[in-house]
Structure 1
Amino acid sequence: MTRTDLPLAQELAELTARLADLLLTRESAEDAVQSLAQAAKEAMPHASGAGATLIDPRGHKTSTGATDEVVLEADRLQYEIGQGLCLSAWAEDRTQVIEDIETETRWPLWTRAVSVLGLRSALSSPLTTGGTPIGALKVYSDRPGTFTDRDVRILEMLARPAAVMLANVQARDAAERASASMSEAVSDRDAINMATGILMERERLSPDDALLRIVSLSRLKQRALRDIAQDLVTGRSVL
């Protein structure tokens, strides 16, 4: 039995289970988005390619994944021109379908630009979590009228759990970056405090004067304050 012969509920259950394994084991949002794109293409064997994009509240893409170069180019044109079915799926929080790119009139600048890529039909669903769209999932075909109501249903059902999982991956990424930044800040502060103490003892300076000396050296050498401090702590010359 092929995937398209499976009852829809069974097919969606299998896709969701596979999606959870793919997305939640990925180390970053970029990896997870790439995996989602591959899962979308495999869910629709008649698709020429698929992609997934995370978009911030200002409409700027933050992570993107695609199964084929033609998808990357079609998406690049959307972001460059500022219109297209994926941006509309995200902005309007609803699925967009193109039966034939050559006769589509909703996004004239984008469809005219993308027509040379050999794509003829497309389908895009928003990735929405907590009532907020965070991106879009899309599939393309080189044949017109390819996508059925069943395809729309599958993509929409695939996008729902994917959005929640991707939001979790994004939150994990943000937490890791914040933790790394905090650790770096603590390390910098410790180095500066140690360097200040060294100058206080070596040159008989007050705490304020010792810190001003480090700041002056940083400006003179056009180097970061932490680098000057670390040189002082390790005994390297900063003059």
Structure 2
Amino acid sequence: METDEQNEDFQRLHQLIAGTDDVKGFLEGMTRYAATSLSRVAGARIECAVTLHRRKRSVTIAGSSDTAILLDGVEQTLGDGPCLAALETHAPVLLPDTSTDTRWPELTANLAAAGARSVLGVPLNLGKDASAALNFFAMQSGLFTAEAINEATVFADMAGQALRLAVRIATADLLAEDLKTALESRTAIDLATGIIMEQNRCSQDEAFAVLRNASQNRNEKLHDIAEGIVNNREGARETTSATHFED
């Protein structure tokens, strides 16, 4: 059964989607909120970064702070650690203490030098094409209790759902913008074709051929040629010779 806090987290994530213009903005807000949520459970400050893994390459794409991005970047540079292990195992992976853990000696040495004492990697489910994980960092050991790990896992599940939705919305917006641009381009070409038909007493195919030849001869885009014709017609309407393309 969902708790009031989990319902609040879910609502907050969807508010982030509605309140940001792009996926990057959502990710930055998500990591800040994840850090705040886990800090509340742990009783001390927790940092969070999100790592994206595609085509055998992992990269830090957002963080709750510059410190989180820096710490996560250490693991991605070395290519091994709890976050990447979580991606491989599809389960949370804990590095309980950088001063005693021996699984990733180079990583723990670098993290300890940067002040991080404990790390928790939690995978996000994004589907088949990509995977991601939340990487939580604590400046002291003992904060990632069973309760904290459970909270991080529940949050990651909601975050994965919200991120998939954010990506779908962003993709739909891009497709809509592409369609709008294509329609605007098509409209300009159709209008220019009509102007050439009227002024040259020719068929639609012949008018379009005139446009295409002008585009090739001038080494300009067909849409730009069409827009020039339409603008000239709407503006001055001085002469019809501009549409004959004698060049």
Aligned to 2:3: 13
Aligned to 2:118: 121
3-state SS, counterpart of residue 159 of structure 1: helix
Higher mean alpha-carbon deviation, 128-137 vs 41-50, is at 128-137
Which string of whole-angstrom CA distances, capped at 9 and with x for unpartnered residues, describes residues 45-76 of structure 1? 324411234x3653567993322101112233
Aligned to 2:162: 165
Q: Could you tell me which amino acid in structure 1 is paired with residue 198 of structure 2?
A: E
Find the aligned partners of 1:175 and 1:60 in 2 and give their Cα distance: 26
Find the aligned partners of 1:222 and 1:92 in 2 and give their Cα distance: 54
**How many angstroms does 1:163 deviate by?**
1.5
Alignment check: 8 A CA contact 2:82 2:94 kept: yes
**Structure 2 residue 139 is matched with structure 1 residue 142:** yes
Aligned to 1:49: 47
3-state SS, counterpart of residue 125 of structure 2: strand
Find the aligned partners of 1:135 and 1:30 in 2 and give their Cα distance: 14
3-state SS, counterpart of residue 119 of structure 1: coil
TM-score, reference length from structure 2:
0.74
**How many angstroms does 1:225 deviate by?**
3.0
Higher mean alpha-carbon deviation, 127-136 vs 21-30, is at 127-136
Question: CA 1:210/1:124 → structure 2, altered by over 3 Å: closer, same or farther?
Answer: same
Aligned to 1:4: none
Regions of 4+ moved over 6 Å: 130-133, 236-239
Find the aligned partners of 1:79 and 1:117 in 2 and give their Cα distance: 15
Alignment check: 8 A CA contact 2:53 2:131 kept: yes
1:52-63 → structure 2 map (5 Å cutoff): 52-53=50-51, 55=52, 57-58=54-55
**Structure 2 residue 24 is matched with structure 1 residue 30:** yes
Higher mean alpha-carbon deviation, 209-218 vs 170-179, is at 209-218
Find the aligned partners of 1:211 and 1:107 in 2 and give their Cα distance: 66
Which string of whole-angstrom CA distances, capped at 9 and with x for unpartnered residues, describes residues 83-128 of structure 1? 4332332233111111233554544565555454322211121112
Alignment check: 8 A CA contact 1:90 1:133 kept: no
Alignment check: 8 A CA contact 1:192 1:229 kept: yes
Find the aligned partners of 2:188 and 2:60 in 1 and give their Cα distance: 35
Find the aligned partners of 1:174 and 1:40 in 2 and give their Cα distance: 24
3-state SS, counterpart of residue 141 of structure 2: coil
- 2:86 corresponds to which of 86, 89, 95: 89
Higher mean alpha-carbon deviation, 90-99 vs 203-212, is at 203-212
Question: CA 1:101/1:218 → structure 2, altered by over 3 Å: closer, same or farther?
Answer: farther
State the percentage of identical aligned residues: 24
Aligned to 2:208: 211
Higher mean alpha-carbon deviation, 211-220 vs 22-31, is at 211-220
| Structure 1 unmatched ranges of 5 or more | 1-8
Q: Could you tell me which amino acid in structure 1 is paired with residue 173 of structure 2?
A: E
**Structure 2 residue 199 is matched with structure 1 residue 202:** yes
- 2:152 corresponds to which of 143, 150, 155: 155
Specify the structure having the higher radius of gyration (Cα): 2
3-state SS, counterpart of residue 123 of structure 1: strand
Aligned to 1:188: 185
Q: Could you tell me which amino acid in structure 2 is paired with residue 195 of structure 1?
A: A
Alignment check: 8 A CA contact 2:23 2:167 kept: yes
TM-score, reference length from structure 1:
0.76
Length, aligned pairs only: 228
Aligned CA RMSD, in angstroms, stands at 3.3
| Structure 2 unmatched ranges of 5 or more | 234-241
